[in-house]
Amino acid sequence: GENVEQHPSTLSVQEGDSAVIKCTYSDSASNYFPWYKQELGKRPQLIIDIRSNVGEKKDQRIAVTLNKTAKHFSLHITETQPEDSAVYFCADGTGYSSASKIIFGSGTRLSIRP
Amino acid sequence: DGGITQSPKYLFRKEGQNVTLSCEQNLNHDAMYWYRQDPGQGLRLIYYSQIVNDFQKGDIAEGYSVSREKKESFPLTVTSAQKNPTAFYLCASSLGRGGNEKLFFGSGTQLSVL
């Protein structure tokens, strides 16, 4: 992908509420949309990903939705817990060539209020 | 993800000096990436390589150089031409060629200017 915009840059939610982070991409050839979580002082870790042939994917409290027509995808975290506090990055990728790469958004710092 | 190792953890560069950051993986991954992370910002792509002896420039390649002589190694040199090198540098790898697979990150190198 060529450009990924991520919003909001910071998000604070009450414990138990839901959090939503949104990203838009520009490259029509993008076909892979992962989300990474980076806790303080640690390396980013993949938490969920979705490919362009799927509209939604869930894994327990985490879900990702993709709207290819609008070129945007979102991360949904339900029943938030203190351990969800971290920086979340969306990314997009275009596969199958030597020039294929993964580009990241600018990140969202999520804080969970007790 | 102990299969990808970055060294050193902290590195200091003097004015006009080139420094090299090491990234080694024993995961037999084809693709390797270098990202730069500045405080409060996302992961910006410096260089990437989908196959041995081939690499591509990312969005912020100026002032950096890489080599990919071996599958398991992808060192990054920060040259004196990079005027603002202070940042956290993350190396990553993925199993297949193409920007559509899970990235495994190293633990990072913090580079500072003396």
User: How many Cβ pairs within 8 Å bridge chains A and B?
Assistant: 81
Find how far residue A24's CA is from the centre of its chain.
10
Average confidence score pLDDT of chain B? 92
| pLDDT of B73 above 50 | yes
Tell me whether residues B43 and A32 touch, CB distance under 8 A: no
Q: Is the distance from CB of A73 to CB of B27 less than 8 angstroms? A: no
Predicted confidence at residue B2, as pLDDT, reads 57
- Most A CBs within 10 Å: which of B103, B107, B109, B110, as the mutation test of the A interface? B103
Predicted confidence at residue A1, as pLDDT, reads 47
Predicted confidence at residue A52, as pLDDT, reads 85
pLDDT tens for B4-55 read 999 999 999 988 899 999 999 999 999 999 999 998 778 999 999 999 999 9
**pLDDT digits (tens), chain A, 114 positions:** 468 999 999 999 999 999 999 999 998 888 899 999 999 989 999 999 999 888 999 999 999 999 999 999 999 999 999 999 999 999 998 766 666 789 999 999 999 999
Which residue spans within chain B are E strands per DSSP? 4-7, 10-13, 19-25, 31-37, 43-51, 54-57, 64-66, 76-78, 87-94, 104-105, 109-113
Tokens 């990808």 belong to: B4
Predicted confidence at residue A8, as pLDDT, reads 97
